[in-house]
Amino acid sequence: MTDRKPSVVLGVGGGIAAYKVCEVLRGLTESGHQVRVVPTAAALRFVGAATWEALSGQPVATDVFSNVPSVEHVRIGQQADLVLVAPATADLLAKAAHGVADDLLTGTLLTARCPTIFFPAMHTEMWEHPATRDNVATLRRRGVVVPDPDSGRLTGVDTGKGRLAHPAEIVDLARLLLADGDALKRDLEGLTVVVSAGGTREPLDPVRYLGNRSSGKQGYALARVAAARGANVTLVAGHTVTLPTPAGVDLVPVSTARDMREAMLDAAKEADVVVMAAAVADFRPAEFVHHKIKKTGDRPAPIELETNPDVLAELVSTRRPEQIIVGFAAETGDDTADVLEHARAKLRRKGSDLLVVNAVGDGRAFEVEHNAGWLLAADGNETPIPFGSKSQLAAAVWDAVAAIGRA
Ligand code: CTP
């Protein structure tokens, strides 16, 4: 084992979204990666070489004649652990699909043998053109990862599909691929999945609520990885820390457990896979007080609670026979049983196909970037999930779902 820093080639295409890729570069270098930026000549018309050199601490060249003795297009490709191209323009996707190698970036693409990921950005018409569709299909068939672009504001007054994914999402998927080159295989193509995320808030009065510490990061990671693996994804999101909506994902914002129930039951009607990663409040204040509760007297008035619906249990009882349902369990051990014993009982009680178990407490799982646990299957199979990023845990969940789907 060496402690060599992972080496990333960041190919930058000639599109206006190149300016957002400075953030991607920053994110990668801050997480300890050595990044060699290889812009196209057109990319340098949007963001100059000085910016890329300053942010990466490495020289920047666009053609194969700049450093001839070291045969750069071969050396850069051979040394890379990951090649990431953003923005991937229609032109770059076409060249990559056809093996055209007329500059340093396209030459590097042919010499690299590591995982490669393209983040497309272009106008909707260009993304939807049959030529681009065919080029993307060719690249995906060869195992190149090409997530769909996001929808939203494009250059000028246009909106539509073709927006570059959020820089934080690009950095996260790059890290995932560096950890596991197989994590973004396109095995969920054609599947419709619904994921819930975040915590619910149960209002007490106009300014107060009962809530929980869920950040939503695990649910967002599940949605992000599923979309990158080709699924049509709906993300039903309760309250979370500020997180970018994953590219290509339909977001349904909700607040209370009852809102979440309604949104999940509705979205689940069309879904092949349903994942309940949200932290749903088990109880809510029995009464909503329409004015701010005043502190009158010495003793606070007790808050009476009533039980919320169990969304997962209802999803299981109303499922279509072929639908796969995944639950989550955040558990601590207690006097009666350890984490896994509690989790096995919960899987039986809930009746889902899979239960993802996290041991919580002592700063684990909530509001942090990493997670570990077990995957319990209804057939008795138990797989430990090693400590890793929430996207790595998400990839392990989708592997298990895909394995059930094939069985
Ligand atoms: N869940 C749900 N509706 C609820 C409570 C939980 O759908 N009202 C779902 C969660 O999204 C999760 C699973 O059920 O997928 C387990 O949640 P958890 O809070 O661990 O379990 P509870 O059923 O609340 O059991 P307990 O609190 O007794 O451990």
Index of the ligand 1 atom closest to the CA of residue 328: 15
- Would residue 354 be called left, alpha or beta, if left means φ above 0 and alpha means ψ between -120 and 50 degrees? beta
User: How is residue 55 written in tokens?
Assistant: 């942010």
Residue ranges per domain, the chain?
Answer: 7-179, 192-406
CA of 329 from ligand 1 middle (Å) equals 7
385, 399 contact by CB (below 8 A): no
b/e sequence 54-93, b meaning 16+ C-beta within 10 Å: ebbeeebbbebeeeeeeebbeebbeebbbbbbbbbbbbbb
**CATH class label, 192-406:** alpha beta
Read off the pTM. 0.95
Mapping DSSP to helix (H, G, I), strand (E, B) and coil, where does residue 361 land?
strand
Nearest CA to ligand 1 atom 14: 312
Best residue among 262, 280, 334, 353 to mutate for probing ligand 1, ranked by most atoms within 8 Å of CB: 280
Nearest CA to ligand 1 atom 23: 310
CA of 279 from ligand 1 middle (Å) equals 7
CA of 296 from ligand 1 middle (Å) equals 35
Q: What angle do CA 234, 236, 238 make, to 5 degrees?
A: 160
Within the chain, how many helices (H) and strands (E) appear?
13, 18
Q: Is the CB of 329 under 6 A from ligand 1?
A: yes
- Provide the annotated active-site residues: 212
127: nearest Cα among 85, 166, 89: 89
104, 61 contact by CB (below 8 A): yes
CA of 254 from ligand 1 middle (Å) equals 17
Q: Is the CB of 388 under 6 A from ligand 1?
A: no
Q: Is the CB of 314 under 6 A from ligand 1?
A: no
CA of 407 from ligand 1 middle (Å) equals 27
Best residue among 213, 235, 282, 336 to mutate for probing ligand 1, ranked by most atoms within 8 Å of CB: 282
Nearest CA to ligand 1 atom 21: 329
Q: Would you give per-residue pLDDT tens digits along the chain (407 residues)?
A: 456 788 999 999 999 999 999 999 999 999 999 999 999 999 999 999 999 999 999 999 888 777 777 777 778 899 999 999 999 999 999 999 999 999 999 999 999 999 999 999 999 999 999 999 999 999 999 999 999 999 988 777 788 899 999 999 999 999 999 999 999 999 999 999 999 999 999 999 999 999 999 999 999 999 999 999 999 999 999 999 999 999 999 999 999 999 999 999 999 999 999 999 999 999 999 999 999 998 877 777 889 999 999 999 999 999 999 999 999 998 888 888 888 999 999 999 999 999 999 877 666 666 667 778 999 999 999 999 999 999 999 999 999 999 997 65
168, 86 contact by CB (below 8 A): no
Q: Does domain 7-179 have CATH number 3.30.2090.10?
A: no
